[in-house]
Structure 1
Amino acid sequence: MPTATDQPKLVLHQLPPSHPCATVRAALRLKGLEAEVVDLDMAGHNAAVEEVYGEGRRTVPGLLVDDRPVHGTVAILRRLEELRPDVAPLYPDPIADRVREAEDWADGHLQDLGRRLPWGALHFRPERLAALAGGGPLDPAGTDYAMRFVRAAWKYHGLSAARLAEDLAGLPAVLAQIGELVDEGVLGGEAPNAADLHVGATLRVIAVVGDVRPLVEASPGWSIVERFFRPAPVAIPAGAYPEGWTPTA
């Protein structure tokens, strides 16, 4: 493990439940780099991130490297690769370009599913909000608060019932695309790469929704979750989505 004398000072600003932040934490572990972790408040994190990382940059994760800001999951992983290229390469030859392509896709469409599917389910089961952080069902007063919080999350993430139904209908194709990347050797190799970390962290958080857990577990991507992350328990029991919305294949 490196010491303070052979690595820059690293400060990670994060939200603990965030799957992009889980991606960065996994990369830090692989690289053997130590970082001070600053957990931000869910309600005020946008302003806090913007204050540190600049105007218009309001999401986690953010990483300070010797006080120099690096914002966003992809940028952070590529900076970590520069810091320690010979330890657990995140973009290994000869598939480096394919890994970057898969990483960009996972950081975009797939990462968004990791937000919309759980928040979508919480609209129908708001009393399960605390379960995302390991808590139990909320009481009626807590559920009233959760309902307001979930409505705000739907607005923030541009969610609608139509969008949620479309996401669910497209989930089998997304999982099949991950399977193709596994078959091609881009994902699921002997050692994890940057794309593995993005995909594994996102599938882990999607699988907290009981309605889609069996589908995710049956996909080739689930082995990435099991190998490089600790699978999370179901937080939102099956039956949350309206009848007929959950894909079966």
Structure 2
Amino acid sequence: MSPVEARLYTLALSHPARAAQRMLQYKRIRHRLIYLLPGLHPGMLRFAGFRGATIPALELGADKVQGSRSISRALDSFRDQPRLFPEDPEHRASVEEAERWGEEDLQEALRRIFRWTIAHQQPVRRWLGELSGVPAPGLAGALNAPLARSFAKRSGADEARVRDDIGRLPSMLDRVDRLIESGVIGSDAPNAADFQIGSSVRVLMTFPQLRPLAEGRPAGEMALRLFRRYAEPIPAALPLASAN
């Protein structure tokens, strides 16, 4: 058996970590997934030698890298082909800008929505516990409610902000469609922005109330093509007033 070249520290439903995993697969870099426990992952990462609490976290050779955008660049440095960033400077700049927007705006909106549901809905905490292999997931979900609310508060995930995020999703998906139409993302050779943006659109589609926003449009088709398998549906009830 060939030796493992990388270790990816992840959470069961982390969409940026799924982006990092798909980039590793695309690069054909032999890797091992190490699943951490939700809520306890900051301490587990520090114990593993990482400086920050950010997921995804990657051991790549002797290097430790955190954050999906840092990981995409580290992977291109580690193995040149297939490339995650185009060689053409103008095209690369467009991909980098799309990747930045995907992480700072789209990904963060979905993170707030997800953390709000975890903080306020016991069925979601139980479901996440089952998905993560936590013993007695129902009890663990009840006991972890204060921790979930703390993570939501840290993200600014209150109901008003989440309503606003949901209301902005249609325009954000329009932007994804334009990126596909212009050729920045969506080609047969995916780049770093494809994985960054596609993972967020895919997690959006795991919410039954949000899935219709992406289905049948280029953004949704790209997400399903890159991320076919995903734990779904999320048993969440969302505040949708601003999305209508």
Which TM-score band (shorter chain)?
0.7 to 0.9
Q: 1:53 matched to which residue of 2?
A: 50
1:44 alignment counterpart: 40
C-alpha distance 222-231 of structure 1, shift in aligned 2 (>3 A): farther
Contact persistence 1:15–1:42 (CA under 8 A): yes
Q: Distance in 2 between matches of 1:22 and 1:224?
A: 15
Deviations 1:25-69 (A, max 9, x none): 101111110113222222321122234122xx1111111222321
Distance 1:130 1:205 in 2: 18
Distance 1:243 1:190 in 2: 35
What RMSD in Å do the two structures reach over aligned CA positions?
Answer: 2.5
- Larger proportion of helix: 2
1:34 counterpart residue number: 30
Partner residue, 1:24: 20
Structure 1, gaps ≥5 residues long: none
Shift of 1:218: 3.7
Question: 2:180 is matched with which residue?
Answer: 182
Deviations 1:187-232, CA, capped at 9 Å, x for gaps:
1111211100011111111222121110022432111111111253
- The count of residues paired between Structure 1 and Structure 2 equals 236
Paired residue for 2:83, among 89, 96, 103? 89
Report the counterpart of residue 168 of structure 1 in structure 2. Answer: 166
Tell me the SS of whatever aligns to 1:221. Answer: helix
Q: Which runs of 5+ in 2 are unaligned?
A: none
Task: Give the SS at the match of 2:151.
Answer: helix
Identity among equivalent pairs (%):
26
- Tell me the distance in 2 between the aligned counterparts of 1:82 and 1:243: 43
1:101 is the counterpart of 2:91:
no
Superposition TM-score, scaled by structure 1 size: 0.84
Query: Which residue matches 1:241?
Result: 238
- Compute the displacement of 1:23 (Å): 0.6
2-structure distance, mates of 1:140, 1:78: 40
| Secondary structure, counterpart of 2:185 in structure 1 | coil
CA deviation profile, 1:70-111 (whole Å, cap 9, x unmatched): 12111111111112112x211124322211111111111111
The answer for the alignment partner of 1:154 in structure 2 is 152
